[in-house]
Amino acid sequence: MTIPTETDVLIVGGGPAGALLGCLLARRGINVLVAEKQASLAREFRGETIAAPSVVTLHRLGFGPALGERGYLRTAAVSMRMEGRQVMRVDYGRFPVGQLPIDIPQPSLIGVFNEAARSLPGYAYAPGTSFTRLLERDGTVRGAVLRQQDGSSVEVRARLVVGADGRFSKVRKEAGLTARIQPMERDFLWIKLPRPADWGNDAELVVDRDKHLVVLPTFPDYLRIGHNIPKRGMGALRKEGLEAFRAGIAAIDPRLGPLLEEHVRTWDDTGFLEIFTAEVDQWARDGLVLIGDASHTCTPILGQGVNLALQDSVCLSPLIARALDRTKPQDPVPASEFSEFIASRRKHKQLVTRFQRIQEAALAKHTPLQTLVRRARFRTLDRLPLKYALFNKVINAPHAVDPADLRAPAPVRP
């Protein structure tokens, strides 16, 4: 495709945040270019869980039928087993939100947004196109330089550049917006296994002292297993060998033993995820705003990464439309237009991170006394009505958006 050299909004990154924002802006008749580094939607495993509030929102935005056509799995509950005993189960059907969380491969999710936007006037999608640097004048962002697949560069002028380029955001770096990276004590190794027919639809956290597995039923017929490993522990793990790795997982959850034997044959059957949180003090500059993982990276606990990314886009799209209308044509959008957005989204993300840190600390306990106390605590929480109130606050936090902005489809500006 020929990349437009001028647009209202240039979105760098076509992950869940960038793809949805591109579609919502195009629906409003705003000229938008989504530049995505990867040439195809096929991608290594990423977060595939969409929390219930975002499922509600996607339906309100009219994406329900398209999501249904691609296919997804509803998650019934999250349950927790510790040292072989179930200590807690949270039934997602008991929350007032009215939808269950779903598990959908990222290429399907992003494909739904791209497909809905494809034929809208003013929308352009540039796959295989990487952001290299910002165009700036007088301290204001005016666009960006993109590198195309053939190695050539193109300058794109935009009234707003949106950095939606994920956890290692180059836009953030080039804009001089610093992220405070806080590594978690452990990293993760992911594997995907065929799901036995009688497995059920609970997301499970299986804990044995300071080792744990996240076991997620995944569309169409997989289990995604996340296994915590020590920080910088990949080398030692490889040295011990694949057999020991498989045995270690089977010791935590014996049901997985035969599946691992059959389906994890090389280290290529595993995927590494470095776990850290990133806090960014400043999310916007004149002419630029960050969203999704670029503005705040969280951990995989409770599968909130995609949820937060989608909510950013839903909340931001009406504000961008308003800001473009309020700013003189051709002028960059001032950062002040996004102050409220940033304050409210930051609050939500901080709540999630705080909860994730508490969980991570609990999962790192390993002495017999510590694990006994931990089991007792979770069992007690399991019996209290407070359990649903607490989880509801973290995973079903509503996002501040005018219901009128969730009409399906949103109006196209003349």
Q: Is 273 in the site for ligand FAD (CB under 6 A)?
A: yes
Contacts of 281 (CB under 8 A, 6+ apart): 177, 178, 180
Sheet of 49-50: strand order equals 49-50, 102-103, 73-74
Q: Is 161 in the site for ligand FAD (CB under 6 A)?
A: no
The angle formed by the CA atoms of residues 311, 89 and 247, to the nearest 5 degrees, is: 95
| Phi-psi group of 45: left, alpha or beta (phi > 0 → left; psi -120 to 50 → alpha; rest → beta) | beta
Q: Is 356 in the site for ligand FAD (CB under 6 A)?
A: no
Closer by beta carbon to ligand FAD, 202 or else 375: 202
Are the CB atoms for 245 and 225 separated by under 8 Å?
Answer: no
Judged by CB under 6 A, which stretch of 21-29, 154-162, 163-171, 389-397 contacts ligand FAD?
163-171
- How far apart CA 258 and CA 30 sit, in angstroms, is 53
For residue 36, the minimal CB distance to ligand FAD (Å) is: 5
For 95, 253, 287, 295, 407, the CA distances from 324, given in Å and listed in that order, are: 38, 54, 11, 22, 20
Closer by beta carbon to ligand FAD, 43 or else 407: 43
Judged by CB under 6 A, which stretch of 32-40, 69-77, 245-253, 357-365 contacts ligand FAD?
32-40
CA proximity to 270, closest of 308, 313, 305, 237: 237
The H or E element that residue 213 is part of is strand 211-218
For residue 29, the minimal CB distance to ligand FAD (Å) is: 23
For residue 166, the minimal CB distance to ligand FAD (Å) is: 3
Closer by beta carbon to ligand FAD, 123 or else 131: 131
- Site for ligand FAD (CB under 6 A): how many residues? 32
For residue 258, the minimal CB distance to ligand FAD (Å) is: 24
For residue 232, the minimal CB distance to ligand FAD (Å) is: 17
Q: Is 318 in the site for ligand FAD (CB under 6 A)?
A: no
Are the CB atoms for 143 and 157 separated by under 8 Å?
Answer: yes
- How far apart CA 217 and CA 203 sit, in angstroms, is 6
Site for ligand FAD in 33-92 (CB under 6 A): 35-38, 45-47, 49
Q: Is 99 in the site for ligand FAD (CB under 6 A)?
A: no
Beta bridge partners of 11: 34, 162
Closer by beta carbon to ligand FAD, 31 or else 297: 297
Site for ligand FAD in 230-259 (CB under 6 A): none
Are the CB atoms for 82 and 226 separated by under 8 Å?
Answer: no
- The only residue of 8, 11, 18, 52 in contact with ligand FAD, by rule CB under 6 A: 18
- How far apart CA 406 and CA 75 sit, in angstroms, is 24
Closer by beta carbon to ligand FAD, 40 or else 330: 40
For residue 403, the minimal CB distance to ligand FAD (Å) is: 24
Q: Please state the separation of Cα 144 from the chain's center in Å.
A: 24
Are the CB atoms for 163 and 144 separated by under 8 Å?
Answer: no
- The only residue of 7, 9, 11, 13 in contact with ligand FAD, by rule CB under 6 A: 13
- Enter the DSSP assignment of 27: H
* Residue span 278-317 as binding mask against ligand FAD, x where in contact by CB under 6 A, dash where not: --------------xx------x--xxxx--x--------
- How far apart CA 127 and CA 39 sit, in angstroms, is 5
* Residue span 186-205 as binding mask against ligand FAD, x where in contact by CB under 6 A, dash where not: --------------------
Judged by CB under 6 A, which stretch of 12-20, 95-103, 241-249, 280-288 contacts ligand FAD?
12-20
Closer by beta carbon to ligand FAD, 290 or else 335: 290
Are the CB atoms for 363 and 312 separated by under 8 Å?
Answer: no
CA proximity to 158, closest of 312, 289, 317: 289
Closer by beta carbon to ligand FAD, 171 or else 375: 171
Three-state SS for 241?
coil
- Site residues (CB under 6 A) for ligand FAD? 12-18, 35-38, 45-47, 49, 130-131, 164-167, 170, 271, 273, 292-293, 300, 303-306, 309
